[in-house]
Amino acid sequence: MSNNMTEVCEVLKRTLRVDRIPEMDKYYKRIEETEDQFADMARCVGKYATITEKLAHRGEKLASAIGICSSDQESKNAFKSNLANYTRHLSTIQTQRSVLKDILNGKISSDLTAYEGKCLQMKKSVKACENAVRKKNHRFLLLQKAKNKTPVDPRNINDANIKFEKARCEAERSCEDVKMAMKHFEEQKRKDLHHILGDFLLAEMRFHAQALQGYTAAFRCLPLLSEGDDVDRPRGNPRGNSRESSRDKRERRVAFSGSDDDTRLPVSQIDLRRRSDSSDSKLSIRDLD
């Protein structure tokens, strides 16, 4: 009867987690934190992908609504073609946004949700180690009972001691394996997180780079929309240009009229004028006084 009560107490303790091993509790806590963190990231990525998909649909509707303007019969052909190019660039951006949504729902989400299975497998390893430690403790209690039992039974004590040593070796080996597994689990978690975040950033940068190219191409279509009606209209006034050229010629003629007057004089008078100019420019001794 007492043995049955002892077993019932052990089962209750195990169920209520009263006899949890502190080191195993630490492992459980780290695994559960990792599982919760990756699950939260997976949910956020899923919501982000859903919002991205909605934006792609609404952007496609906007491009279609703008494209209806190009079907106007009264619009010029140049205006229609430029507006069609504008809507085509916008539609291409929405297609790229849908590709980003597929990457988020595919590779990124699958890598994040894969940690649920990894954490479950790690919990099983910790649970097996915990059971091995409990078994060792149970064998130790049986050994103590065999030693305290009267009359003393050496054979029973020897059997209990052998079972205890076997359970102790298994528990130590299991604890060492779990310790190494947890170390590898933490290292792999950091590597996987680095890989997942890198893939996310690459997908985002690729989308935004392609979207920027599309927006730039669409922006270049805007001036063409306003100039579409004036393509065939000649620019500038040829008569005005001829007037400006004749005015420039007249100004040049006036500017060089002084030099023409000098060329009309005789050579002797030109020399006298140059000498008088040079003599006037020289300083005398009286000026220094």
Q: What is the pLDDT of residue 227?
A: 60
- For the segment 129-146, the average pLDDT, to the nearest whole number, is 88
Residue 45 CA: distances (Å) to CA of 117, 203, 230, 251: 18, 13, 49, 74
Cis link prior to 154 (omega < 30° from 0)? no
Residues whose CB is less than 8 angstroms from the CB of residue 116 and which lie 6 or more positions away in sequence, other chains included:
35, 38, 39
- For the segment 161-188, the average pLDDT, to the nearest whole number, is 91
Q: What is the pLDDT of residue 101?
A: 93
Q: Give 47-102 pLDDT, tens digit per residue.
A: 999 999 999 999 999 988 887 876 664 557 777 788 888 889 999 999 999 999 99
Compute the residue count for the chain: 289
Give percent of the chain with pLDDT exceeding 70: 68
**Is residue 189's pLDDT more than 70?**
yes
Question: How far is 1 from 3, CA to CA, in rounded Å?
Answer: 5
**Is residue 243's pLDDT more than 60?**
no
Q: What is the pLDDT of residue 21?
A: 75
- Domain architecture of the chain: domains with CATH: 22-225 (1.20.1270.60)
**Is residue 208's pLDDT more than 70?**
yes
Q: What is the pLDDT of residue 204?
A: 95
Q: Give 255-273 pLDDT, tens digit per residue.
A: 445 545 555 555 455 555 5
CB 34 within 8 A of CB 119: yes
**Does residue 9 or residue 241 have the better pLDDT?**
9
Pick the closest to residue 141 from 275, 10, 276, 284 (CA basis): 10
Helix, strand, or coil (residue 1) = coil
Q: What is the pLDDT of residue 47?
A: 94
CB 40 within 8 A of CB 193: no
Q: Give 4-20 pLDDT, tens digit per residue.
A: 565 555 554 554 444 56
CB 108 within 8 A of CB 56: no
Residues whose CB is less than 8 angstroms from the CB of residue 59 and which lie 6 or more positions away in sequence, other chains included:
90, 93, 94, 97
Residues whose CB is less than 8 angstroms from the CB of residue 125 and which lie 6 or more positions away in sequence, other chains included:
177, 178, 181
Q: What is the pLDDT of residue 16?
A: 41
How far is CA 137 from its chain centroid? 51
Question: Looking up tokens 């009229």, which residue turns up?
Answer: 257
Question: Looking up tokens 């403790």, which residue turns up?
Answer: 137
Report the amino acid identity of residue 178.
V
Report the amino acid identity of residue 199.
D
Q: What is the pLDDT of residue 36?
A: 93
pLDDT band at residue 283, thresholds of 50, 70 and 90? very low
